[in-house]
Amino acid sequence: MPQKVWVTGMGTVSSIGLNVEESFRSLCEGKTGIGPISYLDTRFKEEYPLGEVKLSNDELKERAKLSEPIVSRTVLLGTLAAREALSQAGISDVQEYRTGFISATSVGGMDISEKIYQGFLEQGKLEDLSLMGIHDCGSTTEMMADLLGIRHFISTISTACSSSANSIMLGVRLIKQGILERVVVGGTDALTRFTLNGFNSLKIVDKQQCQPFDANRRGLNLGEGAGYIVLESEALMEKSGKKPFCYLSGYSNTNDAFHQTASSPTGDGATRAMEKAMALAGLKADDIDYINVHGTGTANNDMSEGNALMRIFAEHVPTCSSTKAFTGHTLGAAGGIEAVFSILAIQNQVVYPNLFLETPIPEHNFSPITKLKEQKVEHVLSNSLGFGGNCSTLIFSK
């Protein structure tokens, strides 16, 4: 019997809350975090709503007690969430055991570097060029690792919108192989003009509040935030006698190999990811109590993901919902934030509404729930699907 890898702590920051407690309250009250732009410096201020974390960089810095003059927002959000996760897990000395930090991000320090780089590319400006050293994704992880004091193992995964599901997966595998005893895993992404303009060029950004899995959906809203969980080995759990939240029973990453950005209409990659994760967990279709779908609100994703669900669950798609109408699509952080939401569902035996869903997609034989529901939640399946055909499934079990 292979060892179980346990979740002992979690932390999150997003537009619906600055910590786990606030986020859970918003989920229960059906309160979206998506609204008019207040912090991102962009010409699209009046045009697009966003899921912004409702604090300025200075306010975030104060909250995180950081004195460095310039810190990427990605680091600020990530540090707050990762610290909450460590504190929930009751870990004060990260050096005590072999501890790792695996973070995911799609933009890294781009919020800072996009301004400096543009100045350099457009006008040959040389000032602040030294800040380019914090541009790349790996730098943001190193800065967070240093702030958390973790140095036994660090890594960063960047596979677009499935990034943090993949960092969780790697953490589980490193513990199972005995390379680490415990690890902080998840991801962080700040909103940047780079991503807003990028998704805008793809013409998949909704100018109104997004409506995932609605027949009349118009696209996604971008969001920002961070979500991390602490994973510990069975041996450590026995030693400490801690009461874990749940364990990671299944996981899988596959590739759709269909198109650089679009998902295959039949959802091949997502189907395989879910199947493999369920097989690893030893679960059958009717064991899954709740699915936190990727559900971005784009025409392509929701159709493809829904078709994949029908291929696996046929007429009996479990209770499911997308929480992206709450947070917006937080890209590289989405898998981490949604892991926290999935674990909260198990802890509280409750599943969340898919906000703003009015008309079910006619091609689907199921539709996500639209009201908060108390029910038995033992096994939660969470999907994260990204560019490059990247498909990931995680299963959390009680």
Binding residues for other proteins, rule: CB under 8 A, are 42-44, 106, 108, 114-115, 117-122, 126, 129-130, 132-133, 136-139, 141-142, 145-146, 151-160, 166, 170, 173-174, 176-177, 179, 193-194, 197-198, 200-203, 253-262, 268-269, 272, 386-390
DSSP bridge pairs for 226: 13, 188
Tokens (6 digits) for 274: 């879910």
Q: Which residues contact 137 (CB under 8 A, 6 or more apart)?
A: 105, 106, 107, 108, 109, 156, 158
Q: Which candidate in 135, 210, 246, 294 is catalytic?
A: 294
Burial of 371 from C-beta contacts in 10 A (0-12 / 13-18 / 19+)? exposed
The separation between the first and the last C-alpha atoms of the chain, rounded to the nearest angstrom, is: 18
Tokens (6 digits) for 300: 């392509």
Burial of 275 from C-beta contacts in 10 A (0-12 / 13-18 / 19+)? middle
**Which of 67, 177 has the CB closer to other proteins?**
177
**Which of 220, 377 has the CB closer to other proteins?**
220
CB of 128 to other proteins, least distance (A): 11
Cα separation, 254 vs 94, in Å, equals 33
**Which of 97, 258 has the CB closer to other proteins?**
258
Task: Check if 320 is active-site.
Answer: no
Report the phi/psi class of residue 176: left, alpha or beta, with left for phi > 0 and alpha for psi in -120 to 50. alpha
CB of 121 to other proteins, least distance (A): 5
φ and ψ of 384, to 5 deg? -140, 125
Amino acid code (one letter) for 264: S
Q: Which candidate in 137, 161, 210, 246 is catalytic?
A: 161
**Which of 203, 376 has the CB closer to other proteins?**
203
**Which of 114, 378 has the CB closer to other proteins?**
114
CB of 122 to other proteins, least distance (A): 6
Inter-residue contact 259 to 389 (CB < 8 Å): yes
**Which of 105, 354 has the CB closer to other proteins?**
105
CB of 295 to other proteins, least distance (A): 20
Task: Check if 294 is active-site.
Answer: yes
**Which of 39, 366 has the CB closer to other proteins?**
39
CB of 90 to other proteins, least distance (A): 24
Inter-residue contact 276 to 253 (CB < 8 Å): no
Q: Which candidate in 135, 329, 364, 379 is catalytic?
A: 329
CB of 168 to other proteins, least distance (A): 12
CB of 181 to other proteins, least distance (A): 16
What sections of the chain are H helices per DSSP?
A: 20-29, 57-63, 73-88, 110-123, 137-148, 163-176, 193-201, 234-240, 268-281, 299-313, 324-327, 334-348
Task: Check if 135 is active-site.
Answer: no
Inter-residue contact 301 to 187 (CB < 8 Å): no
Active site residues: 161, 294, 329
